[in-house]
Amino acid sequence: MISSRFVLKRLLLLVPVLVGVASLVFSILHLSPGDPALTIAGERASEEFVKQVEESLGLNDPIWVQYGRFIADAAQFQFGESFIIQRNTTVREVLVNKLPVTLELAIYGQLIGVFLGIPLGILSAVKQDSITDHLTRIGALAGISVPIFWSGPLLILLFAQVLGVLPTSGRISVLYNVEAIRVTGLVTVDTLIAGEWDMFVSAVRHMILPASVIGVYSMALISRMMRSSMLEVIRQDYIRTARAKGQGAKITVLKHGFRNAMIPVITVIGIQFGGLLGGAVLTETVFAIGGIGTLLVEAIKVGDYPIVQGTVLTFAFLFTLVNLGVDITYSILDPRIEQ
Amino acid sequence: MTAAPDHSADERPPLSEQLGVRLRLVGTALVAGVVVATVSVVAATVLSDPTASVETAFALGSLLFGFGLLGWSGAVALGRGIESMQETLDTQTGWTEPDARRAMARIIGFGLGVMLGTMFVGSVVLGLA
């Protein structure tokens, strides 16, 4: 049972983390070159118009006033309107549209990683130094070593161009209007809720390649971690005792070994998920999926500061939430961690 | 090699003493930050544009403040885990959670000092400019 004190303590830690990230974002944006007012007004704009824009954005106020306003707005998750990428649209609206795209990709990628990585890691540990172990380790090493910008186009070439069984890009076929049935923003879930089977199949087919690309990378790390953790656990005295008492090998590993071996793996899964959110930029670019990662890169390129601030803080918030989940899972697996 | 300190409740000093230590820790760094900010802003104002120098000094202060806050939270959240991991792997580097917290508290104090110093000196400088 998780104590509410433990969860509260972890939740309270979110506050300094988010204030810290907000301060870093604010300072980096102010130290980087470029004038947001000039970016909005355009290089040919008159000096008077640039001053008007500065006034409307509050850039004429002293920097500490801007900092205080920024922290107060960030606490309410209000970053104003996008300057360039989607003019006259609030950052919150932009993020609400884009975040589910990246989340969906990261969730499916992580599911592939977890459901393949954990069994492979256990198999590799139990059958140490066998041909299965060697093949799994080679596969894991290849998964970690092959960069997404190379494996992505290769998979597109094989499955889309040569075999022609999967689509190359996008989230769903252009024949369907997914906005009409939007509920969660996750295409596979929305199509399922609407009971549109053809759309659902199309969404799943579009998701297979990008999710596999990031899933394989995640799987490789998880299986390696699971293998080393399981190897350590199955050498413990209590496992030997369980075997000596006549318990079957499979039950010993799954009942006694698995739970203890999962503790370090949970950390990797948590960190991986945060990494998948940020690392989805490459996958989104390769498969032409317009998610939050691509949005952030675009916003940095064109100097759309409100979008940059909102996106980075969203990433930080999600990352800390995932870590909170990891901490809670820890305390379920090993209640001593709460102490 | 030093073992990780025992955090048992019996060995903890009284609350007022703990508070005093913490205030001294952050306070001295804060004063240092105020002094550094004052000297830098005045020097930069003499040599260059006052607005730009005030903005740069404040942004640098908030950078330190943010870095310190993240480091402090990281030490509080993961410190014990890192200590145990070092013990388990027998790779003790002497890094401890209380030391990390103290170091980060100093950085927070210094950053905050720079921000406050810039704010006070900046108000005067920009008012005169």
Provide, rounded to the nearest whole percent, the portion of chain A with pLDDT above 90: 14
pLDDT range class, residue B111, cuts 50, 70, 90 = very high
How confident is the model over A139-158, as a mean pLDDT? 86
- Name chain B contacts of A13, Cβ cutoff 8 Å: 73, 76-77
pLDDT on residue B3: 46
Min distance A61 CA to chain B CA atoms (Å):
11
CA–CA gap between residue A51 and residue A283 (Å, rounded): 40
Place of tokens 């199509």: A191
CA–CA gap between residue A297 and residue A34 (Å, rounded): 16
pLDDT on residue A173: 86
How confident is the model over A243-251, as a mean pLDDT? 86
pLDDT on residue A169: 84
Task: Name the interface residues of B facing A (CB cutoff 8 Å).
Answer: 54-56, 58-63, 65-70, 72-73, 76-77, 115, 118-119, 122-123, 126
Count CA within 13 A, CB hemisphere, residue A268.
Answer: 22
CB contact under 8 A, A67 and B122: no
Count CA within 13 A, CB hemisphere, residue A131.
Answer: 0
Per-residue pLDDT for B2 more than 50?
no
Mean pLDDT of chain B: 84
Place of tokens 């130290």: A31
pLDDT on residue B62: 95
Min distance B100 CA to chain A CA atoms (Å):
16
- B59-101: pLDDT as tens digits: 999 999 999 999 999 888 777 777 777 776 677 788 888 899 9
pLDDT range class, residue A114, cuts 50, 70, 90 = very high
* Mutate: best of B6, B53, B62, B76, partner A, most A CBs <10 A: B62
pLDDT on residue B63: 95
How confident is the model over B105-113, as a mean pLDDT? 95
pLDDT on residue B52: 86
pTM given for the model = 0.78
ipTM of the complex, rounded to two decimals = 0.84
CB contact under 8 A, A24 and B58: no
Kindly list the domain boundaries of chain A, sorted by start residue. Answer: 91-338
CB contact under 8 A, B59 and A26: yes
The structure tokens listed for B53 are: 């120098």
- A85-112: pLDDT as tens digits: 888 888 999 998 888 998 899 999 999 9
> What letter does residue A84 receive in the DSSP assignment?
S
- Name chain B contacts of A30, Cβ cutoff 8 Å: 55, 58-59
> Which of B54, B72, B73 lies closest to A63 in CB terms?
B54
CB contact under 8 A, A17 and B54: no
Q: Which CATH superfamily is domain A91-338 in?
A: MetI-like (1.10.3720.10)
